């Protein structure tokens, strides 16, 4: 085998192996690629503009560079009867097509999607914000000397892996579209095979039949746009979607009648650890450029023909909470992400865009978001106080890009819990078994300033890293007040604030208010829609730096 293969050959072989579940990572590395032409987009300046991202879910307005894809039903996949035709009676090709079966209909909510693929310039701005250099692979095969080739600012970023992409998504407050969302954006309400229609048109797509086989600018081929104005959903670069390479519901292996006496069972090697990419790329065949084609890839694969575009939910804060929960990872007091109510959450988000980039280059993202647990039957306030005196009740997740003044916490993700007023049983036992002087000696040893001094209301707990049950309650927080506790990723209490009054009444949706600068916030929320009377909490949050004012 040759020591190196061209980018075209590499991607072609990758596609074939990945469809069977085999790894493409053992193939030789790609050669550098050169783009065909320059983008029509204007050059971005260093000037920037910060705008609020909060939108009315009943009348959603797309963020810069994105389009609104309305919810509805979408046809997914390929009819079993079409497998032999699409695979041209070739056993290997038919096996690939079987991953698209059976054809079915799915429902999807409205969402926002990038009108174009993510560009080289966007990736460069992201790396600069994170104070990181481009990866060795990107430098060797895409950005010579670590710089974007001249004239290619608005060409699709490639040669980046899924772990890198996920970091970008968290930084920008976005996510990947699901496979169903991607298909809805490409197909719309009908059953077209390609974003522009049902008939193949080689003049509106960057695919393997064009010469030379190179990527084009992200705003090229306007004639090939999808029904919602999304560009290059076929060709140019494969696009990651948020989906594992698993069979559709109702999948059955394909029975191919090779002869009167010979039947062959065909099925791809599905693997939930692998991810799906859609749309084909600049070396793909006509068949691979179809909307329904599914490419299976290892999340660590990085290739000259693999890029991505981003999505956002209509509900503000959904992506922030999702990323926050994943950063908290295992061991959180919230057992799984599905317990958080993303339909009723609080969020304030502001994004900064580079001027002159037509809104396609985000240079900063600031946020404050809180999601409470989903509605469930809970105790009334009296019973909740009784149980929460000994075992704090988990209420939800707070995620913020901003440092907080009250409680005094750095940017991050925190589980919020309710600790009811009154002395816990554990603390009573500690008092009985230990002298007060002994407790004071322990506190002096553990205090960060070495003097055993207590911090004020809303301050950092004197013992960061100590589990809540090991904290000396009468020193850490006032036992005569209901308090909110803030757990960090290690499940340690690192801050607290008094709750103030807690109302006990009918369930209400999340409500928030703030001062003129957007620095002092109160978030009111309930947990239960079943009981007649439920506790309604008021969570106070004070930002330490710049405010996050409400959208106009």
pLDDT digits (tens, 9 = 90+) for 91-112: 899 999 999 999 999 999 999 9
**301 and 446 fall within a common domain:** no
Higher pLDDT residue, 475 or 505? 505
- SS3 assignment for 256-315: EECCCCCEEEECCCCEEEEEEEECCCCCCCCCCCCCCCCEEECCCCCCCCEECCCEEECC
What residues form DSSP beta bridges with 365?
351
> What's the helix, strand, coil split of the chain in %, to 5?
20, 25, 50
**359 and 376 fall within a common domain:** yes
pLDDT at 173 over 70: yes
**14 and 79 fall within a common domain:** yes
Q: Which helix (H) or strand (E) covers residue 498, if one does?
A: strand 493-498
**298 and 434 fall within a common domain:** no
CA distances from 338 to 207, 244, 318, 373 (A): 40, 18, 12, 9
The per-residue pLDDT for 305 is 96
Q: Tell me if 33 sits within 8 A of 304, measured CB to CB.
A: yes
What's the number of domains the chain is made of? Answer: 2
pLDDT digits (tens, 9 = 90+) for 491-520: 888 888 999 788 888 888 999 999 989 999
**Residue ranges making up the domain that contains 122:** 7-22+72-250+269-313
- SS3 assignment for 195-242: CCECCCCHHHCECCCCCCCCCCCCCCCHHHCCCCCCCCCCECCEEEEE
**Long-range Cβ contacts of 82-87 (<8 Å, 24+ apart):** 83/254, 83/256, 83/266, 84/256, 86/287
**334 and 301 fall within a common domain:** no
**305 and 346 fall within a common domain:** no
**224 and 361 fall within a common domain:** no
pLDDT at 425 over 80: no
CA distance 271 to 197: 31
- SS3 assignment for 40-71: CCCCCCCCEEEEECCCCCCCCCCCCCEEEECC
Which two tokens mark 200? 């193949």
Which two tokens mark 496? 């607290």
**525 and 390 fall within a common domain:** yes
**366 and 497 fall within a common domain:** yes
pLDDT digits (tens, 9 = 90+) for 288-342: 999 999 999 999 999 999 999 999 999 999 999 999 999 987 656 788 888 999 8
Give me the count of residues in the chain.
552
Q: What is the mean pLDDT of residues 528-552?
A: 82
**178 and 300 fall within a common domain:** yes
**189 and 136 fall within a common domain:** yes
pLDDT at 123 over 80: yes
pTM for the complete prediction?
Answer: 0.85
């Amino acid at each position: 085998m040759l020591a190196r293969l061209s980018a075209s050959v590499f991607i072609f072989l990758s596609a074939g192996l990945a469809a069977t579940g085999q790894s493409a990572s053992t193939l030789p590395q790609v050669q550098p690629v050169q783009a065909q032409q320059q983008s029509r987009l204007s050059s971005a300046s260093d000037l920037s503009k910060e705008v609020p991202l909060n939108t009315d879910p009943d009348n959603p307005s797309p963020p810069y560079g994105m389009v609104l894809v309305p919810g509805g039903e979408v046809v997914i996949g390929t009819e079993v009867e079409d497998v032999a035709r699409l695979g041209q009676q070739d056993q290997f090709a038919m096996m690939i097509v079987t991953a698209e079966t059976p054809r079915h209909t799915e429902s999807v909510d409205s969402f926002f999607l990038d009108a174009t693929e993510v560009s080289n310039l966007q990736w460069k701005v992201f790396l600069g914000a994170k104070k990181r250099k481009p990866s060795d692979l990107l430098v060797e095969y895409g950005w010579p000397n670590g710089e974007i080739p001249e004239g290619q600012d608005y060409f699709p970023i490639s040669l980046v892996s899924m772990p890198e992409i996920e970091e970008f998504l968290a930084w920008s407050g976005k996510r990947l579209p699901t496979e169903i969302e991607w298909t809805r954006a490409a197909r719309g309400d009908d059953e077209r095979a390609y974003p522009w229609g049902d008939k193949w048109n080689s003049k509106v797509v960057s695919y393997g039949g064009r010469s030379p086989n190179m990527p084009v600018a992200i705003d090229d081929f306007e004639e090939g746009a999808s029904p919602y104005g999304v560009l290059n959903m076929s060709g140019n670069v494969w696009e990651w979607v948020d989906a594992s390479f698993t069979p559709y519901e109702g999948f059955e292996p394909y029975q191919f009648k090779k002869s009167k006496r010979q039947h062959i069972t065909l099925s791809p090697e599905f693997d939930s650890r692998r991810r799906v990419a859609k749309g084909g790329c600049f070396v793909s065949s006509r068949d691979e450029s179809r909307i329904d084609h599914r490419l299976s890839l290892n999340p660590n694969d990085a290739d000259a023909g693999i890029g991505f575009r981003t999505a956002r939910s209509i509900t503000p804060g959904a992506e922030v909470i999702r990323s926050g929960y994943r950063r908290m990872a295992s061991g959180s007091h919230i057992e799984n992400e599905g317990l958080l109510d993303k339909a009723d959450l609080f969020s304030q988000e502001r994004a900064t865009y580079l001027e002159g980039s037509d809104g396609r280059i985000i240079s900063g993202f600031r946020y404050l978001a809180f999601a409470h647990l989903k509605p469930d039957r809970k105790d009334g306030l009296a019973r909740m106080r009784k149980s929460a005196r000994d075992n704090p009740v988990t209420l939800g997740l707070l995620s913020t890009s901003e440092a907080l003044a009250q409680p005094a916490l750095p940017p991050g993700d925190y589980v919020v819990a309710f600790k009811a007023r009154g002395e816990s049983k554990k603390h009573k036992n500690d008092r009985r078994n230990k002298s007060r002087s002994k407790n004071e000696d322990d506190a002096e040893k553990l205090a960060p300033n070495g003097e055993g001094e207590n911090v004020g209301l809303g301050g950092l707990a004197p013992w960061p890293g100590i589990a809540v049950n090991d904290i000396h309650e009468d020193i850490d927080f006032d036992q005569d007040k209901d308090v909110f506790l803030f757990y960090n990723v290690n499940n340690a209490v690192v801050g607290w604030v008094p709750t103030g009054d807690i109302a006990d009444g009918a369930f209400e949706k999340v409500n928030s208010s703030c001062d003129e600068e957007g620095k002092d916030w109160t978030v009111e929320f309930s947990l239960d829609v079943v009981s007649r009377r439920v506790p309604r909490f008021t969570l106070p949050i004070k930002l330490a730096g710049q405010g996050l004012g409400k959208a106009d």
